[in-house]
Amino acid sequence: MRQRSPVDRVHNPHRRLLWRICLALMLCLMVGPVLAAPRPLILVMGDSLSAAYGIERQDGWVSLLTDRLAGKARVVNASISGETTAGGKTRLPELLRQHDPDIVLLELGGNDGLRGLPPAQMRSNLADMIEASQASGAEVALLGIDIPPNYGQAYREAFTGVFTALAERYEIPLLPFMLDDVALHDELMQDDGIHPTAAAQPQILDNVWPVLAPLLENSGAELAERQG
């Protein structure tokens, strides 16, 4: 069998072209994953206020958030109507394991208040959820809520005080009242007086955005000054 000379191997134009193509493909495979940074993932743990109760799901503020992010971050909405802090505490570990979120938005407590459950119990459940989220490597923000005045001023102050105390203790962002500029406008509330209408959802998102945006930027999302 005739052996190819070094000259044949070096100067064969087809072989050199094939080698260059293979080298380019290898570089693309090695460099591509480094350049493509993963998008931050937001996990929303909420109740009916985040589960679009009484309206189309695509009209809810969490769906509007997905639209506003325009692919710069992913959103998992794990909200369930009627959820309490106890239920959220039970579900959270598996959700953290499954999704490994960068940011956790805790929007729970409203149903605890409406049921007259002890604020100390709500505080303990939320504290456990904050600690579990932080232990998984996620940043956390609290989305607070208020309850009607007929529950009594003492209970109401103890209830809302839970969110403030937890935000201070864990040094996390707090939205004191998620339904600001919504709850007192009858045209933005459903007939039950508790749940906002579809028309109120953009305002709710605007309330949440100043709390969420810095966390997204910390997680590497490049956001415009004003989205949506």
Query: Is 191 an active-site residue?
Result: no
* Residue 38 binned pLDDT confidence (cut-offs 50, 70, 90): confident
DSSP of the chain, one letter per residue? Answer: -PPPPHHHHHH-HHHHHHHHHHHHHHHHHHHHHHHSPPPPEEEEEE-TTTTTTTS-GGGSHHHHHHHHHTTSSEEEE---TT--HHHHHHHHHHHHHHH--SEEEEE--HHHHHTT--HHHHHHHHHHHHHHHHHTT-EEEEE-----GGG-HHHHHHHHHHHHHHHHHHT--EES-TTTTTTT-GGGB-TTSSSB-GGGHHHHHHHHHHHHHHHHHHTT----SS--
Q: How high is the pLDDT of residue 74?
A: 98
Give the C-alpha separation, 107 to 205, whole Å.
13
Q: How high is the pLDDT of residue 30?
A: 55
Tens of pLDDT along 195-220?
999 999 999 999 999 999 999 999 98
71 Rama class: left (phi>0) / alpha (psi -120 to 50) / beta: left
Of 47, 50, 136, 195, the active-site residue reads 195
Of 5, 14, 186, 192, the active-site residue reads 192
Q: Which residue has the higher pLDDT, 48 or 226?
A: 48
Residue 174 has pLDDT above 60, yes or no: yes
Least confident of 24-38, 167-181, 193-207, 209-223: 24-38
Query: Is 192 an active-site residue?
Result: yes
The pTM score is: 0.83
Tens of pLDDT along 3-17?
555 545 445 556 665
Q: Give the chain's mean pLDDT.
A: 89
Tens of pLDDT along 79-125?
999 999 999 999 999 999 999 999 999 999 999 999 999 999 999 99
Residue 2 has pLDDT above 60, yes or no: no
Residue 33 has pLDDT above 50, yes or no: no
Residue 32 has pLDDT above 50, yes or no: no
Q: How high is the pLDDT of residue 222?
A: 80
* Residue 46 binned pLDDT confidence (cut-offs 50, 70, 90): very high
Q: Which residue has the higher pLDDT, 12 or 228?
A: 12
* Residue 227 binned pLDDT confidence (cut-offs 50, 70, 90): very low
Tens of pLDDT along 115-152?
999 999 999 999 999 999 999 999 999 999 999 999 99
Tokens of 59: 């009209």
Percent of the chain with pLDDT over 90: 78
Residue 186 exposed, middle or buried by CB count within 10 Å (0-12, 13-18, 19+): exposed
Query: Is 14 an active-site residue?
Result: no
Of 48, 50, 79, 219, the active-site residue reads 48
